[in-house]
Structures are given as structure tokens and as C-alpha cells.
């Protein structure tokens, strides 16, 4: 796990790396997810959350 945000559902995207000669090779891009302790229903829980959700305040961190 760890490559998907448990808040917004953002996951890996796939596509092609295209070189100068137009040769395409498959690749994937993963979101920047961090394992953080958040408060869910009053109890602390460890989750993988993307940095955009952390920055926008969609989760309440348990410090």
C-alpha cells in the first residue's frame, strides 16, 4: 500500500516516457503520500495521506 491517499483516493498514474527519438516506454507516477497519525472519530489512527490533503487541512493530525 502507501501509494494511494486514504482521504481523497489519489493513486498512481501510468503513461509513457517519450524520448527524443519518440521511443515510448511505460512508466508510472506516484503521489507524494506520507504515513501520518490522524484523528478519526476521536481516536488516533495511522493513515497514508497525500501532501495536498495535509496542506489543505482535510485531516486533523494527532501530534
Tell me the per-residue pLDDT of 2-32, one tens digit each, with 9 for 90 and over: 799 999 999 999 999 999 999 999 999 999 9
Domain that holds residue 5: 1-63
Question: What is the SS3 assignment for 21?
Answer: coil
In degrees, rounded to 5, the angle at the alpha carbon of residue 15 between the alpha carbons of residues 25 and 30 is 110
Dist CA 59 CA 8 (whole Å): 11
The average pLDDT across 30-56 equals: 94
The average pLDDT across 25-40 equals: 96
Distances (CA, A) of 59 to 40, 48, 51: 9, 11, 11
Number of structural domains the chain divides into: 1
Residue 39, domain CATH: 2.30.170.40
Dist CA 48 CA 43 (whole Å): 16
Amino acid at each position: 500500500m502507501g501509494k494511494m491517499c486514504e482521504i481523497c483516493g489519489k493513486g498512481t498514474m501510468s503513461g509513457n516516457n517519450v524520448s527524443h527519438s519518440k521511443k515510448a516506454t511505460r512508466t508510472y507516477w506516484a503521489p507524494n503520500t506520507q504515513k501520518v497519525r490522524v484523528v478519526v472519530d476521536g481516536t488516533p489512527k495511522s493513515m497514508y495521506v497525500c501532501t495536498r490533503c495535509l496542506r489543505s487541512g482535510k485531516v486533523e493530525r494527532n501530534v
